[in-house]
Structure formats: structure tokens, C-alpha cells
A and B are shown apart, each in its own frame.
Chain A
């Protein structure tokens, strides 16, 4: 659970600094005080939670089906970890990091009630290497409960950053937060890279 939480915490900070700043105006749109903000934020977080719950279930069943062969089970997850970890590192140091968040799509939506739900959907299903890593983790857990726990830790880690979202307008050094978040994401990638290599070596030795 620890590494999932760390992954969530590190990728969540970068996510807040990029997508969070796009979401903020929409979560705030037409707001009539704290209650409304709390409702919108809760809807957003609940959507993420539900999506992760579904992903945890799907990934685990996929893992059971795909990794039934012991050789595959010992080696493929290691390779996947390495691949996605390298993607995560590349994302953090690469110059072509997309400056545009997919959440910008919500600009086209008129229904304010739907916005937080849609944002939750986009945010949890975003094409993000951190999500692929957690999917790999979910798929390789021994039991379904362990898969849920891994996703739960990831959800908690990444959600913490969204809680102060109503204050986002007051954050002055947005760029600094974003830089630190992106670099922390890269470091989480390194942790998973090491994990992938050890898994692979262990898999080869045992398999």
C-alpha cells in the first residue's frame, strides 16, 4: 500500500497543479458559498472513487486471466512496471509534456451539475502513466481485496491534493508547485522502475 500511496501523493500534486487549475473555475462556477463548493468537490471525488473501484475490479480479473501462467505472472508485471515507470519518468523530464489538460473539454458543457462528475471521470481515466502503474499493481495482487486496497491508497494519496482546491485561487507560486509535483512524479517513477527491475530479476530467478 505504501508505494501506491506515494504514487498517488506524487502524481496528485502534479495533477492538481495542471488540471486542478483548469477544474477550479468550473467547480467554482456559479458557486454560492462553501456548501456548493463542498458538494461539487464531493461529487468530483466520489466519481473518482467509483471509477477506481471499477478499475480495481477489472484490473484484478484481467490479471487473473492474463497472468495465469506462472512464467508470465513472474515476468510480465516486472516488464510492465519498467515500461510505465520509464513513461512516468519521461513525462516528468520530457520537454513535450502537454501543457493542456484534458479537463479543458468541460468548457463545452453547459450543465453545471454534470461538470464535477465529468471532471472526476476525465481525471481518473486520464492517459497517465501513474494510472497504468496502479493498474499493473492491481492486476498482480494476490486477492481482489488487495487490489482494492492498492487503488484506495492511490485514491487517497491523489485526492488529498484536491481538498484545498477551493483555495487554489490564492496559491501564488503555482509554477513552483507544478515543478515540484512533476519532479516528484518522476521520482515515483524511479521507485517503480526499481520495483520493476527487482520483480523481473526475482521472476527470472524463480521462474
Chain B
């Protein structure tokens, strides 16, 4: 079959794309408005409308153009920025500072984040308790709801969570897109295993110290969310680590390598998510009959999930986050979204449509609150 025809196979006509967008349109409408749009506060109404249109236009274009990653990335990056905005805005409004105080820790008021989950496991099993100063059920980002969200997302999307659900991933995804060509082209394969080593270390150290050690000592995203007030050499060291890891792994290296280096070389949750890729229904598959081994996909993968050996073996590695960048890059449609059990090269459209609906719906709803909040803040700033 001719190449252009194969790509055209992923595209849809205008009408068909609209039809495919309709369910997303209705569900996001219900979620964002609760069924009754309210324009009594014009800024809130406009923010909600903008967010609603944004997600649906992006979803429409995914079907209309047959491309996935470029539209996914827009929402994913906006999600990351808006979540940081929301958190910082809340902190500044309530506490007049980006750092939390000892009182916040003592009163267990720290918002929970999914990166804590790996560190919770051993203490939860052995001491039947949670080692985090947050709220179990009430308030913003409480532990129970974040655990449920992550658990379902991981079960359904596997490491897809890292390209469709994580509110941090958008940061290095965004920076990895700034340059046209990478400055650093080769990085040792060994580093791919670093998140597992970090996972091992933080799980053990958290259990032994009964402290979420990754959050207290390592997490680069403290730089764009909230961190402990600098009052001692220790807290200054921590702040230094947060800022340098953010500067190095989230900004500088992604710009220079065009890869998501924080997610590839550090995040321990990414390691767990990779393991869960083994059970999720949605996968990325290689149609060996269609593949001419041009290895374009290998070069574009932002998570070092593809090697030439993987392509030759016809199997995507467990690091894949289902971002769709390789799928978009393949002119022969040889690498494609698939469903476990369905042989590669078959039912490509069905698999893609189902995967896109599930993953995009998750991201659209999960991100809507903070995106609306951010648009609202921006509108208030402008008018």
C-alpha cells in the first residue's frame, strides 16, 4: 500500500471528526458546568468556556489530522503550568508565601501528590499508617482521592499516566520541545534504569526514616509548587537540591537533548508506572510488515523507550508512555496504538479511537479544574 494512503487512514473527514468529538463534548460539558453553565460571574463563565473549547478543539484535531502527540502536548503542558499556577496562587493568597510553614506540617495541611505513593507502600504495609502530613479525606488534593485517581489511571493507562495524567510531566515535555535539534545526542543506556535505583532508595529510606524522603530531599517540582521555608542549613541544602534538579533535569537537559530527562532519569513513580505497562489494555505496537526500519521513531521518542533493537524485535519497551510522538513520526503507520491481545497491524483505527477517548477524557477532566482556575486568574489580571 502507498505510504500517504496509510497515513490518511488515521485521518478522518470533518464530519466524522465532529461525530467522534461529540461524546467528549457532552461529557466534558457535564463535568465542567455540572450541566448548568453559570455566567453570573463573567470571568468564571469565560474561563470555563475557554477551557471547554480548548479541550474539545484539541480532541477534534486529533481525529481530523490523525496526529496525536502535538495536540496532547498542548493540553499536557497547559495542565502542568496551570497546576503550578493554582498551587502557587493558593499559597500566596492563604500564606503570603510559596513555602509552607512548620504549622502546616504539624496540622497536616500539605496537599498530597502522587509522587509520594511509592514511599507510602512499605510503611502502610508494616505500620498500617501513612507517612505524609496531609489530609486523608477532606480538602484539596487529599490522600484518598489522589490514590484513587492514580490507581485507576495506572491500571488503565500504565505509563501512559506520564503523558496523559501527570501534572508535572508537562514541564520537561514543554522544555524538550524548545529547540529544533538536540545539542546532546547520545546518553548512555545505563541511565534509563536510574528511576528504578531512585525508587529502591526512596522506598527504603522512606520506610527507615518514616519520612517521604523524595519529597523532603529530591523532588525537582518543589521549585514550581511549594517547599519548606528556608530556616536552617538543612532546609537551604534542600532548596538548593530542588532548584538545581529543576534547572538541570527539567529545563537545561530537556532543552539540550529534546528528551524528557526528569521523567527518564529520576522520577520513581515513572518506574512503577513502567511496570504497570505490563497489565494495561492499551499499548503501542509495531507492525513489522509495514516497518522499513528507518528508525525515525527511535530518534523522536522523548523517554528513551525505543531502541533500534526494539524496532527489529517488533516490541516497544516498558518505558513507553503512549505519548504518540513515534506514531506521529512514522510515515508508514507501522508503529501504532494497539490493544493487548489484538495482533499488531490490525484494528489500528479502532484501537487508536478507543485509547484516545479514554486517555484524553482522563486528562481533560483531571486538568479542567486547574486550567479554569488559571484562565480565571489571567482574565482577572487583564480586565
Chains A and B touch each other in the complex, with CB atoms below 8 Å apart? yes
Binding site for B on A (CB under 8 A): 2, 5-6, 9-10, 13, 176, 179-184, 186-188, 191, 194, 198, 201-202
- Asked if B205 CB lies within 8 Å of chain A CBs, one says yes
A6 touches B201 (CB 8 A): yes
Chain B residues near A194 (CB-CB < 8 A): 237
A176, A187, A198, A202: the one contacting B201 at CB < 8 Å is A187
Chain B residues near A10 (CB-CB < 8 A): 197, 200-201
B204 touches A6 (CB 8 A): yes
In Å, the complex CA distance between A179 and B271 comes to 14
- What secondary structure prevails in chain A residues at the interface with B? helix
B233-255: which have CB < 8 Å to A? 233-234, 237
- Asked if B190 CB lies within 8 Å of chain A CBs, one says yes
Query: Can you list 24 pairs linking A and B with CB atoms under 8 Å apart?
Result: A2-B208, A5-B208, A6-B204, A9-B200, A10-B200, A13-B200, A176-B193, A180-B196, A182-B197, A183-B191, A183-B194, A183-B196, A183-B197, A184-B197, A184-B201, A186-B197, A187-B197, A187-B198, A187-B201, A191-B205, A198-B234, A198-B237, A201-B233, A202-B233
A183 and B205 in contact, given A10-B200, A13-B200 (Cβ under 8 angstroms): no
Chain B residues near A186 (CB-CB < 8 A): 197
A183 touches B233 (CB 8 A): no
In Å, the complex CA distance between A10 and B205 comes to 11
B190, B204, B208, B234: the one contacting A183 at CB < 8 Å is B190
In Å, the complex CA distance between A183 and B265 comes to 11
8 A-B pairs besides A6-B208, A202-B233 with CB distance below 8 A are A10-B197, A180-B196, A180-B200, A183-B190, A183-B191, A184-B197, A186-B197, A187-B197
Chain A residues near B204 (CB-CB < 8 A): 5-6, 9
Chain B residues near A5 (CB-CB < 8 A): 204, 208
Closest Cβ of chain A to B224, distance in Å, is: 23
Closest Cβ of chain A to B200, distance in Å, is: 5
Closest Cβ of chain B to A155, distance in Å, is: 16
Closest Cβ of chain B to A13, distance in Å, is: 7
Closest Cβ of chain A to B214, distance in Å, is: 11
In Å, the complex CA distance between A33 and B92 comes to 67
In Å, the complex CA distance between A188 and B237 comes to 17
Contact string against A for B residues 206-237, beta-carbon threshold 8 Å, 1 for contact and 0 otherwise: 00110000000000000000000000011001
In Å, the complex CA distance between A179 and B233 comes to 33
A198 touches B233 (CB 8 A): yes
Nearest opposing residue in chain B for A187, CB measure = B201
In Å, the complex CA distance between A176 and B208 comes to 25
Closest Cβ of chain A to B334, distance in Å, is: 27
Q: How large is the interface on B (under 10, 10 to 19, 20 to 34, 35 or more residues)?
A: 10 to 19
Nearest opposing residue in chain A for B265, CB measure = A183
Chain B residues near A202 (CB-CB < 8 A): 233
Binding site for A on B (CB under 8 A): 190-191, 193-194, 196-198, 200-201, 204-205, 208-209, 233-234, 237
In Å, the complex CA distance between A66 and B194 comes to 38
In Å, the complex CA distance between A201 and B196 comes to 32
Chain B residues near A201 (CB-CB < 8 A): 233
Closest Cβ of chain B to A15, distance in Å, is: 14
B208 touches A180 (CB 8 A): no
Closest Cβ of chain B to A190, distance in Å, is: 9
Chain A residues near B237 (CB-CB < 8 A): 194, 198
B201 touches A188 (CB 8 A): yes
Chain B residues near A13 (CB-CB < 8 A): 200
B193 touches A179 (CB 8 A): yes
Chain B residues near A198 (CB-CB < 8 A): 233-234, 237
Closest Cβ of chain A to B69, distance in Å, is: 28
The 8 A-B pairs at the shortest CB distance, nearest first, are namely A183-B197, A184-B197, A179-B193, A2-B208, A180-B196, A187-B201, A180-B193, A180-B197
B190, B201, B234: the one contacting A179 at CB < 8 Å is B190
Chain A residues near B194 (CB-CB < 8 A): 183
B209 touches A2 (CB 8 A): yes
Chain A residues near B208 (CB-CB < 8 A): 2, 5-6
Closest Cβ of chain B to A168, distance in Å, is: 19
Chain B residues near A188 (CB-CB < 8 A): 201
In Å, the complex CA distance between A41 and B193 comes to 29
Nearest opposing residue in chain A for B192, CB measure = A179
Chain A residues near B233 (CB-CB < 8 A): 198, 201-202
Chain B residues near A180 (CB-CB < 8 A): 193, 196-197, 200
Closest Cβ of chain B to A156, distance in Å, is: 12
In Å, the complex CA distance between A198 and B191 comes to 27
In Å, the complex CA distance between A189 and B197 comes to 12
Chain B residues near A6 (CB-CB < 8 A): 201, 204-205, 208
Nearest opposing residue in chain A for B202, CB measure = A187
Closest Cβ of chain A to B98, distance in Å, is: 24
Chain A residues near B200 (CB-CB < 8 A): 9-10, 13, 180, 184
Nearest opposing residue in chain A for B217, CB measure = A194
In Å, the complex CA distance between A188 and B190 comes to 17
In Å, the complex CA distance between A201 and B232 comes to 13
Closest Cβ of chain B to A79, distance in Å, is: 18
Which of B191, B194, B197, B233 counts the most chain A CB atoms within 10 A?
B197
In Å, the complex CA distance between A183 and B266 comes to 11
Which of A5, A184, A198 counts the most chain B CB atoms within 10 A?
A184
Chain A residues near B205 (CB-CB < 8 A): 2, 6, 191
